[in-house]
Amino acid sequence: MQLGRFNHIGVAVPDIEEAIAFYRDVLGAKQITEPFDLPEQGVKVCFVNTPGHDGTEGTQVELLAPLDETSPVANFIAKNPLGGQHHVCFEVPDIEAARAEFEAAGKRILGPTRIGAHGTPIFFLHPKDMLGQLTEIMESPKEGALH
């Protein structure tokens, strides 16, 4: 496996506008993207861009609100009404090679490889196989692509 950049931490929130105001007003976030719907994933999503450190590139907090009660985030919010840390996302150079390696390692992959919020292919690994951490694997954006 070739672990790449830590792309984002996914944070489930009951209300994305309230969460944006919190990150802006309480945490002083300077760059927050406009929320957009991902109906195929059942979520409304936006990104809080965090500054880098020691010359390294920053990362993102991905704020996720359920679009409806069938959303994969809805059950999490039902169990955690305030929301909270939901998943982590690591980049890999080749999503299909990564999928094959995790499958060979007996890790449960949740659903098909699909296009995520950054416009590149992603899949999820079951938290019970990943030290309790729901893990998203994302193919690194090609050089020059927006992400």
Ligand X SMILES: CC[C@H](C(=O)O)C(=O)SCCNC(=O)CCNC(=O)[C@H](O)C(C)(C)COP(=O)(O)OP(=O)(O)OC[C@H]1O[C@@H](n2cnc3c(N)ncnc32)[C@H](O)[C@@H]1OP(=O)(O)O
Q: How far is the CB of 96 from ligand X (least distance, A)?
A: 17
Which of Co ion, ligand X, none is residue 80 near (CB under 5 to 8 Å by kind)? none
- Could you say which of 19, 20, 46, 89 contacts ligand X (CB under 6 A)? 89
Selected range binding ligand X among 14-22, 25-33, 69-77, 139-147, rule: CB under 6 A = 69-77
Interaction of residue 135 with ligand X, rule CB under 6 A? no
Q: Is 136 a catalytic residue?
A: yes
Which of Co ion, ligand X, none is residue 98 near (CB under 5 to 8 Å by kind)? none
Question: What's the chain look like in SS3?
Answer: CCCCCEEEEEEECCCHHHHHHHHHHCCCCCEECCCEEEHHHCEEEEEEECCCCCCCCCCEEEEEEECCCCCHHHHHHHHCCCCEEEEEEEEECCHHHHHHHHHHCCCCEEEEEEECCCCCEEEEECHHHCCCCCEEEEECCCCCCCC
Judged by the rule CB under 6 A, the positions of this chain that interact with ligand X are 10, 38, 41, 43, 45, 62, 64, 72-73, 75-76, 86-87, 89, 110, 116-117, 122, 124, 127, 132, 134, 136
